[in-house]
């Protein structure tokens, strides 16, 4: 048998006769032209399109090393790079503490009265052996880690104020811009023996935005309190769920 040559037109091509037959329903609809899926580069960081998200993944050191050629494909990315570097440099200026630092009477002026004007200082007056002081210190240590831009210090009460009565312990003094902004005497100010970091935070922020996490230095008092309340509610819900799980077992 002789081989037959079958002519195939360009895919999707159609004659006027075929089009007319389809119009009257004598031929099936013309099949859709096959289109391959768009090319996407491999999941390689260096092959991904350069975008804001791509820059966000870079560390400060990597941003410094980026060549101008890496960002020539988009002027926005060049501006974004400059903005990110400025934000990193600004964040580095924020003084961070993160713990309750012990000080002596001779350190008080330098550590408290002469602290930077934009820094709130929480001064904890205590004495070893007073159980209430230990309870409050535990709460303050947790708050110091949560709000590293607020300065927390502790000092033996009589080193700070000669003859300060033990019945007033524990006591907290709140300083800002070299002046006393608040005085909280006794554990009852924070919920007595049931005090928690959240109840202490609410008491500290009752009049001023004392607590600062370093990310929102201009946060209002209400914003700080709302954040603390949310954390407090979440903690209560978690405790309630744990108690239900325990009782069901």
Q: What is the DSSP letter of 242?
A: H
- Give the pLDDT confidence of 162-180 residue by residue, as tens digits: 999 999 999 999 999 999 9
pTM, two decimals, is 0.57
Task: Please tell me the CATH superfamily of domain 100-237, with its number.
Answer: Glutaredoxin (3.40.30.10)
Residue partners of 199: CB distance under 8 A and separation at least 6: 139, 190, 191, 232
pLDDT at 217 over 50: no
pLDDT tens across 1-30, in order? 556 655 555 556 667 777 777 777 777 777
Mean per-residue pLDDT of the chain: 77
Edge-to-edge strands of the sheet including 120-126?
Answer: 100-102, 151-156, 120-126, 171-176, 179-185
193 or 42, greater pLDDT? 193
Q: What is the mean pLDDT of residues 208-230?
A: 68
User: What does the pLDDT look like over 106-153, one tens digit per residue?
Assistant: 999 999 999 998 899 999 999 999 999 999 999 999 999 989 999 999
More confident residue, 245 or 70: 245
Higher pLDDT, 220 or 242: 242
> Residue ranges per domain, the chain?
59-92, 100-237
pLDDT tens for residues 182-197?
999 999 999 999 998 9
Name which of 141, 95, 140, 135 is nearest 118 in CA terms.
95
Beta carbons of 210 and 174 less than 8 angstroms apart: yes
CA separation, residue 133 to residues 44, 60, 157, 224 (Å): 55, 42, 11, 25
């Amino acid at each position: 048998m002789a081989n037959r040559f079958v002519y195939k037109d360009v895919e999707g091509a159609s004659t006027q006769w075929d089009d007319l037959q389809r119009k009257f329903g004598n031929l099936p609809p013309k099949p859709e032209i096959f289109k391959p899926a768009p090319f996407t580069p491999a999941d390689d960081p260096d092959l991904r399109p350069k975008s804001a998200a791509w820059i966000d993944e870079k560390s400060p050191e990597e941003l410094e090393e980026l060549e101008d050629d890496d960002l020539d494909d988009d002027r926005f990315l060049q501006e974004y790079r400059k903005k990110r570097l400025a934000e990193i440099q600004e964040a580095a200026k924020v003084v961070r503490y993160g713990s309750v630092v012990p000080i002596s009477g001779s350190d008080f002026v330098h550590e408290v009265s002469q602290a930077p004007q934009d820094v709130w200082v929480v001064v904890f007056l205590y004495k070893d052996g007073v159980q209430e002081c230990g309870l409050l210190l535990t709460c303050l240590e947790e708050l110091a880690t949560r709000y590293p831009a607020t300065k927390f210090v502790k000092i033996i009460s009589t080193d700070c104020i000669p003859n300060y009565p033990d019945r007033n312990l524990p006591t907290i003094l709140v300083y800002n811009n070299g002046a006393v902004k608040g005085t909280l005497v006794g554990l009852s100010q924070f919920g007595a023996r049931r005090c928690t970091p959240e109840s202490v935070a609410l008491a500290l922020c009752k009049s001023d935005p004392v607590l600062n996490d370093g990310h929102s230095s201009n946060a209002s008092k209400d914003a700080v309190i709302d954040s603390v309340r949310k954390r407090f509610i979440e903690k209560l819900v978690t405790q309630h769920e744990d108690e239900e799980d325990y009782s069901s077992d």
